[in-house]
Every structure is written in C-alpha cells, then in structure tokens.
Structure 1
C-alpha cells in the first residue's frame, strides 16, 4: 500500500470518526433539551424521553435528516440502545419478583399474552401496520418503550417503526397515568388493590410510579412489584420471538436472526442487581441512582437517533390506525385488570 493510499484511508477514517462524535453529540444535545423541556409546567407528565423524541422529529421535519453526522446518529440509535438495555437489567430484582411476587407474575403472564394477541387481532381487523402494531402490543404488555427497544432488533424492525412505537406508548401511557391519578379518590379500591391495578395495566415503570404514588407507599410498592414481573417476562418473550423469527421470518425478508448478545447482558446485570449487589458487594445507593439516570439518558439518546428517522408523512400514513389499536387495547387492559383485582 502506497503512502498516498494510506493517507487517504487515514483521512477517511478520521473524517468518519469526527462524524460519529458529532452525531453522538447531536443526540446528546436533543436528549438534554428533552430533559429541559420536561421541567416546564405540564411537560413533566410526559417524560424526558418523549420530549426529546418530539424535538428530534420536529427537527427532522424542519431541517431534514442530518446526513453529515449519520454515523454518530446511527451509533446512538443502535449501540447506545443496546447498552441502555443491558444497564436496564439493574432495575429488575429477580429475587423480589420470584419470592414475593409469584402470584403477580402468573397474572402478568396473562397480561402479556392478552396484550400481544389482542393488539395483533385488532390490527388485522383495522388493517393497521402489522409490524408497528406488534411492537405496540409488546410495549403495552411488558414495559413500554424499553420493551419496544429491546425486541426491535430481534424483529428486524425499522428505526422509524421503533421510534413511532415508543412515542405512541409514551403518549398513551402518560394520558392513562394522569387519569389514574385524577380518578384515584373516586375509585373504590384499597391501596393495595389500586397498586396492583396500576402495575398490571399501565405501560412503563414511570407511568406506574406516577399513578400508584397517589395511592400511598403501599400502593406504590405493590404497583412496582407487579410491574417488575412484566419486565421480568421480557427475557422469555425475547427468546420466544427469536425462535419464532427463525422459524417463520414473517416480519423480515432475512431468515437469519442475529443472537441478541445485549439480552445476555440484560440477564447478567439483572443477576448482579438481584443476587450480588447489596448481598456480597455493597453498592452505595447514590451510585445505583446514578447508573439508573445514565441508563435513562442513554435510552433517551437512542430514541432521539431513531426519532430523526421519522417523517410526519410516514407518521400520518402508519401511526393513526396503530394509535387507535393501542388506545382500544389499553382501555380493554385497564378494564379487565380492574375487574380481576
């Protein structure tokens, strides 16, 4: 290789590295802007992730896709996403779920199955986008945007579908969480029953925390326990989806499904958080809270990267019917879990 060729290659690598760094910085700026927007009155109900995604989508419509920094945006959307899912495992305490919430866990299995199958069936009836509707069914049944982000690589979903799905889940989940909080004084349930209902029916951990807190500490504790059971089910569900994709390939023209190594990382961090930290290794609460905040910020950056792929035209064409399907499924889930508390 000549010295001139080496120089061109080094220059090319240096340019791509700069594009990558600038793209990551861009998603970080949007994430920080989302956190800032979340501090304004009214927006704190929505959450920083949804705020940052809204800003990213708005930027895409006004300025177009930032092609000059594509490598960095794609790094955030894919690599940071997987890293966030791995760290997300620290939020799951398997020991608590298995030993204290086994009854709730069995209930959660039914909730996940109902959410996915009902959403798919409703999507077929309304002729809504099948791939996006499946993501919404999984997000509704398991743990919202985090579940959508975790399974989208397994389903070979488009970044656009992942971003739209996460945005819709955040929107609908926020509306329901606020309704739960407002209606709590008139709901004829004990604090424990109200907590179980919140944890069994709402979409994300943040939504459960917002709604269940209005029922007191007991409601919040049992609500989060019920929700953790649904997060736990993300593990077997992911392997079931991977097996299904290998057997059918219905959602992608590629029959091969890459092994989700990030899911192994998710399981490993779950095991660490459940059986090592606090028992054999004392980890300061401040450090664990810091890791939780880093995880949330990484996930927000990843969703910004995906949000930059969304156009309003695609949103209008693909999202309206899935939004209707998601809303009906959520109403049914809230109603059925209320009747069975």
Structure 2
C-alpha cells in the first residue's frame, strides 16, 4: 500500500481478524486440583485418629489429629495441592462442627449447677480473657496471638482458637503457636488435676467442678475427670460444656468490636463488607443449644450428630495441626510459653476460688 507521496506504509490488519496461535503452541493451562486432595488426606487422618481412640478410649481423636498433622507437616513438605482442602477443613468444617457441638449443651443441666457455679464459669472466662490480654501486653506478645491464647485457654481450646481466627484472620504462625500451646498445657493438666485435688483434700464432685472449669479441651477434661474418679467426670463435663456455651457471647463480642473498629477507620473486611454483627456459625450453635434443650430428639439422632461433630472437628484439628511448624514455634521465642503458663494458672486459680465459695 502506498501514500500520495509514494511512500510505502505497512498494511494494518484489524485486531479482530488476527490469526490465533495453533492450540498446540498455546501456553499450557495450570490445572487446579481444588479441595479434593486435602480433604482426602483429612479423611485418612480422621480414620486413623478414630482408630487410635477406639483402641485407647482415653485418648481424644481431636488431640491425635492435631499431633498427626504436626508430625506430618514437620516430617515432609506438604504439596501445595493440599492447601485448598486443608483450608476447607480448618474453617467451614470447623464451623459446622462447632454448630453441632451445641447439641451437647442442655440448658437444664447448666442451670442445675446453680447460679453460684454459673457465675464462677462466667468469671473464669471473663477474667481469664482479660488477664491473658493484660499479660500479653506486658510480655510484648503480638496482640493477635494473645487474643487466640486468651480465648483458647479460657473457653474450649483449639476450637475456640480456630473460631477466633475465623473472625480476625490471624497470622498462620499465631494460630499454629496457639494450637500447640493448647495441646501442651492442656495435656499437662490431665495428670496435674488429680494430684491437686488430692493435695487440697477436695471431694470428687468439687474436684470435677474445678477440672471442668480449669482445663482447656473437652477431651482433656474427660480424661482428667475420669482420673479423679467418683462423680467427678459428670460434674467436670457439665462445667466444661457451660464454658463452651460462653463461646457464643465471646465470639459475638469480638465480631462486634472488630466491626466497630473497621467502621471507625472507614475500612472493610475482605470482600468489601463489614463482618456480621453475630457470625452465622455462632447463631447456629445457639440454635442447636435451644433445639437440644427444648425438643425431644431421639437418641439415634443425637448419637449421629455427635459422631458427625467428632468427624468434622477431628478433620479441622488435623488441618490446624498441619500448620504447626516447629520452626515457626521456635521463632516466637519463650514469651508465648510464659503467657500460656500464666493464663493456665490464672484460669485454674480463679476457678479454684470460685468452686471453694460456691460449694
């Protein structure tokens, strides 16, 4: 093609008519496996954890799953293809398990403790969280890790840690450290609790109340209550489930404070929206508590829900355990361990004083 001046100009081919490269020459697509591989690994871990629990009933499948995940993650580098499935287990499955956990709480049993013991449980959770937050500031522990430890140690262990993480999007190393601290400190309390009960001359009932109000995980409470003997186990479980019931107001309070802080700063959570005033899984938990308390549910339904809850929480604990890297735990230093020890001691002492007054 030439211009009036006789100079040649290159022909312009419209873009819409440009020749596309041959399919064989295109860049290969990156195949995404989705959550299936990670969820399959969680399923294998759940089976192993339940098998260990069947052979040794005193060992909780949740604790076994955490240990399996931690050992696996530290022994071999986990493929990135597992990450989506582990993320599904650590959050959606965990929240579903927490919802079903509400079916274990009967308001009649909680009220049967008496208002004095209910006040003790509220004091344990409230003072436990407040004092742990204060300790964290004094020790210079990061605020996110301090909040995770405060709720995990004061309410219901690793499940509370993961629930808080779902609200505040804590750092991975903070979640891993908090879960590891729950496992270590709560497990140490299993043999310590019977020794303290014997040394202080507490009866089985009072000892069970104290164990239920002091130890972090439900499974750890069951182990300690069984070791104390007598009527300790039933009392310990009821008190512990009353602490679990405190998960609802605490999570709602954290969500409300975060919502207010984001609104004041003109910010938004991920997705461009403020977080809900009350998280959906908390509403589901409360709904299940009400269903169990006021509706006559058949025993097979309750047994099935309990087994499903165990499977979901065990899968979630395995996923959380996979985030426990010894290198990350070493990097945080000694201060979180001091924080965990102080939090455990404070919760135990507050509960001991309360049980003494209430009984």
With structure 2 as the length reference, what TM-score do the two structures score? 0.80
Partners of 2:55 and 2:141 lie apart in 1 by: 34
1:58 is the counterpart of 2:59: no
Any idea what the Cα deviations from partners look like across 1:32-52, whole Å, max 9, x if unmatched? 3334455777xx766332332
Aligned-pair CA distance for 1:190 = 2.1
Alignment correspondent of 1:273: 292
The equivalent position to 2:352 in structure 1, one of 329, 338, 341, is: 338
The equivalent position to 2:105 in structure 1, one of 70, 73, 92, is: 92
Superposition pairs for residues 113-262 of structure 1, below 5 Å?
113-249=126-262, 255=269, 256-258=274-276, 260-262=279-281
Partners of 1:289 and 1:95 lie apart in 2 by: 19
Name the SS for the 1:309 alignment partner.
coil
Alignment correspondent of 1:79: 92
1:313 is the counterpart of 2:322: no
Contact 2:180 2:324 in 1 (8 A): no
Alignment correspondent of 1:4: none
Aligned length: 322
Any idea what the Cα deviations from partners look like across 1:56-111, whole Å, max 9, x if unmatched? 22322333232123322221122211111111111111232135443222111111
Contact 2:161 2:179 in 1 (8 A): yes
Larger mean CA deviation between 27-36 and 297-306 belongs to 27-36
Any idea what the Cα deviations from partners look like across 1:310-341, whole Å, max 9, x if unmatched? 33221112364222211122123323432442
Which ranges in structure 1 are unaligned for 5 or more consecutive residues? 1-11
Partners of 1:337 and 1:260 lie apart in 2 by: 29
The equivalent position to 2:39 in structure 1, one of 20, 24, 29, is: 24
Any idea what the Cα deviations from partners look like across 1:134-165, whole Å, max 9, x if unmatched? 11111111111222222221222234433432
Partners of 1:110 and 1:185 lie apart in 2 by: 24
Which ranges in structure 2 are unaligned for 5 or more consecutive residues? 1-28
Partners of 2:317 and 2:176 lie apart in 1 by: 6
Alignment correspondent of 2:282: 263
Superposition pairs for residues 280-291 of structure 1, below 5 Å?
281=297, 283-284=298-299, 286-291=300-305
Name the SS for the 2:168 alignment partner.
coil
With structure 1 as the length reference, what TM-score do the two structures score? 0.83
Partners of 1:221 and 1:305 lie apart in 2 by: 30
Contact 2:214 2:347 in 1 (8 A): yes
Computed over aligned residues only, the root mean square deviation of the Cα atoms, in angstroms, reads 2.9
Partners of 2:39 and 2:125 lie apart in 1 by: 34
Q: Residue 338 and residue 98 in structure 1: after superposition, are their counterparts in 2 closer, same or farther (change >3 A)?
A: closer
Contact 2:90 2:317 in 1 (8 A): yes
Any idea what the Cα deviations from partners look like across 1:274-316, whole Å, max 9, x if unmatched? 111x3xx4x12x5423422321221121122233233322111
Name the SS for the 1:142 alignment partner.
helix
